[in-house]
Amino acid sequence: MNEEDSCQHFVTRSSCPLCHKELLISWQSDEIPYFGEVMYITAACDCSFRFADTLILSQKEPMRYELLVENLEDLNSRVVRSTSGTIRIPELGIDVEPGSISDSYVTNIEGVLDRILSVVITATKWCEDDEERHSRGLEVQKALEEIIEGLRPVTIVIEDPFGNSAIISDKVKSCVLPSEEADCLKTGMIVFDTNSSEMELDASDSEHRLTE
């Protein structure tokens, strides 16, 4: 194995959180379009414990992207959402914030709306006993369906403190986020501050939050 290969893949040893036996953790680096350099982390134990995660290693300036979706063509605009990206639909009061189980993905605006609609449908079922919340959920479902059909304009916003998320469109408006705004965003991951000996863990599991 040459020096370059050893940097791309290595193994560390730890203890299984379930049975406390020795656990081998595999680390594999890779380069992914739109996301840049990433690290795959996998571990498996004979006791059935399994772990897998993907860390995005690149970090850019904190960014904000805003797109006014007005027609079916806009629904095809590509979206890159990293594990640290927050998606907002201001007109509907919807914030999709990263949590400890957030996924990174590349899709389009319609794909993002389909994901949100699925979550809203589930949340609406959970609150059937609350007339006000249930009614609000049905309203949001109808609005999302109209947007997906191209019958209603809406603004899609993506904010990412690490700059790894984006909306790709000729119509998109983008800007660098001020540090005070970027610091208020959830990241859904462990953040190492190279200027400090402290480590911050943002492990909010409220990945999907419906606000009114």
Cβ neighbours of residue 200 closer than 8 Å, sequence gap 6 or more: 190, 191, 193
Tens of pLDDT along 25-60? 999 988 877 777 888 889 999 999 988 877 777 778
- Residue 151: what pLDDT? 94
In CATH terms, is domain 3-56 a member of 3.40.50?
no
Q: How confident is the model at residue 198 (pLDDT cuts 50, 70, 90)?
A: very low
Residue closest to 174 by CA, chosen among 70, 63, 78, 95: 63
Tens of pLDDT along 69-118? 999 999 999 998 888 899 999 999 999 888 766 777 889 999 999 999 99
The structure's pTM equals 0.72
Positive or negative: CA dihedral 29, 97, 192, 25:
negative
- Residue 190: what pLDDT? 42
Contact 125, 93 (CB under 8 A): no
Domain 63-210 sits in which CATH superfamily?
ZPR1, A/B domain (2.60.120.1040)
Tens of pLDDT along 118-140? 999 999 999 889 899 999 999 99
Tens of pLDDT along 167-191? 999 999 999 999 999 888 887 644 4
> Which residue type is seen at 38?
V
Chain centroid to Cα 146, Å, comes to: 24
CA distances to 31, 38, 52, 147 from 28, in Å? 10, 8, 11, 40
Q: How confident is the model at residue 21 (pLDDT cuts 50, 70, 90)?
A: very high
Q: Identify the weakest region by mean pLDDT among 19-23, 46-50, 123-127, 207-211.
A: 207-211
- Per-position b or e across 80-110, b if 16+ CB within 10 A of its CB: bbbbbbbbbbeebebbbbbbeebebebebbb
- Residue 101: what pLDDT? 64
Domain boundaries, the chain: 3-56, 63-210
- Residue 3: what pLDDT? 42
